[in-house]
Structure 1
Amino acid sequence: MVSLAAVVATPTTVLAATSTIGRTWPIAEPDALSEIEGQALRVPDMTTAFGPRGRWSAMKAASLGIARADRTRTVVPFYILDQDIRLPEGKLLYAKGFSFNPLAYVSLPQRLIVVHPRDLPWALRTARPADFILLAAGEPGDADAITLGERHGRAMFLLEERVKARLGLTVAPVIIAQEGQKLVLTEVGVIEADGAKAMRKAPR
């Protein structure tokens, strides 16, 4: 006779391992992880297909000059509508040509720090955790934004031509921050001394 204590002490995993309740069928669907891994292996290598990333048109950054002196200026990024904005029923809400300042409605929570690749160490020292680092076009042989981001463990962004034009950028390094309904652009000058470049301390 099996005692109650012996039944209670029996691990449920042992009972489950030796018992089958109802009919069973093998799993017909493929393993999801195996499917993902298989699809990933079939994706062509981008470098093989399109050449080195440095030659991709999508990896081309806008060019900027070098800031030779400290300078601060302000920009109001007015936007002009290039088409009419209408309500669903057709009523005109804003006409083409209407101008407004987006900063009157939204806030830029982080600064934008624009540098050439050679000044990236300075940008990494200067940037706050939430700041965006944008790379202007560098010299031939400079690492691309993806490689630099992987190397430093921080996302890097390319400076696009439309952003350059929108903000009126001409030189780098420059720190862009919102103050009220305008953007303050702080250009940080570079001092050439005995062939060695020294960067002025930027505001934090």
Structure 2
Amino acid sequence: MKRQLIPTLLTLMVSHANAQIVVGATYPVIERDPTIVIRESLSKLDLPKLLANRKESFRHQYQQIVLPRASEPVKRSHIPFYTVEHDVTDKDGKVIYPTGYVYNPLLYFKLPHAIYAIDQGDTTWLKPLLKQADMVLLNSGDLAEVSNELQHAVYLLDDNTRTRLDLLRVPSKVTQIQSALMIEESVNAF
């Protein structure tokens, strides 16, 4: 009996699976296709105006530090001492470096690239000198335009970076010589 019941139930289940069973009331979908709604919304946007507003908002949010132009070529060195702001502990809680400890980070690692601080007008002479690992800091100008022109990542020069690197004028090139930074200020190019 069991042997006959199982195949019969399976046959019934398969035959009913093909038939659509509707439980309750159904209604046609009256909502519009979401992709069409999105396309229509995008077509109504004034994209250039939106981008201009975003650009202006970015400029106000990140005020650039504007350094003066170099009037004569200058080479100088700088040791970027760092003061520990809070106790540095090991995994057991033992203090390795206490608050106020002063050290030179260049004793522990080598700066693998040059750092250039420039204005927007300096891109022409910088482009042939620029290596892939180099860092570019923008003193004044349009970040997106300079980045596109150089085909390289460009960062805004902020006050913290200016202070740590002891940048006084642009254009400047910063490299590491042993345990110090060598800062070269140039009138035209390096």
**TM exceeds 0.5?**
yes
Q: In the alignment, residue 74 of structure 1 is paired with which amino acid?
A: S
Match of 1:184 among 178, 182, 185: 182
Whole-angstrom CA distance in 2 between matches of 1:58 and 1:99? 32
Unaligned runs of 5+ in 1: 1-37, 139-143, 190-198
Match of 2:55 among 53, 56, 61: 53
1:186 CA drift (Å): 0.4
Match of 1:172 among 136, 161, 170: 170
1:129 CA drift (Å): 3.3
Whole-angstrom CA distance in 2 between matches of 1:119 and 1:111? 16
CA contact (8 A) 1:82 1:97 kept: yes
Number of aligned pairs? 148
CA contact (8 A) 1:76 1:182 kept: yes
Corresponding residue number in structure 2 for 1:76: 79
Higher helix share: 2
Whole-angstrom CA distance in 1 between matches of 2:56 and 2:149? 16
1:66-105 deviations in Å (ceiling 9; x for gaps): 1000000001011000111122332111100001111111
1:58 CA drift (Å): 4.5
Match of 1:156 among 154, 157, 172: 154
Whole-angstrom CA distance in 2 between matches of 1:46 and 1:107? 43
Q: In the alignment, residue 155 of structure 2 is paired with which amino acid?
A: F
> 1:118-133 to 2 correspondence within 5 Å?
118-133=121-136
1:136 CA drift (Å): 0.3
Determine which structure has more spread, i.e. the larger CA radius of gyration.
Answer: 2
Corresponding residue number in structure 2 for 1:30: none
TM-score by length of 2: 0.68
1:41-66 deviations in Å (ceiling 9; x for gaps): 99x97972881414424443221011
TM-score by length of 1: 0.64
Corresponding residue number in structure 1 for 2:68: 65
Corresponding residue number in structure 2 for 1:93: 96
Give the 3-state SS of the residue equivalent to 2:147 in structure 1.
helix
Q: In the alignment, residue 175 of structure 2 is paired with which amino acid?
A: A
Whole-angstrom CA distance in 2 between matches of 1:123 and 1:55? 28
1:185 CA drift (Å): 0.2
CA contact (8 A) 1:111 1:175 kept: yes
Give the 3-state SS of the residue equivalent to 2:184 in structure 1.
strand
CA contact (8 A) 1:60 1:137 kept: no
CA contact (8 A) 1:62 1:159 kept: yes
CA contact (8 A) 2:83 2:102 kept: yes
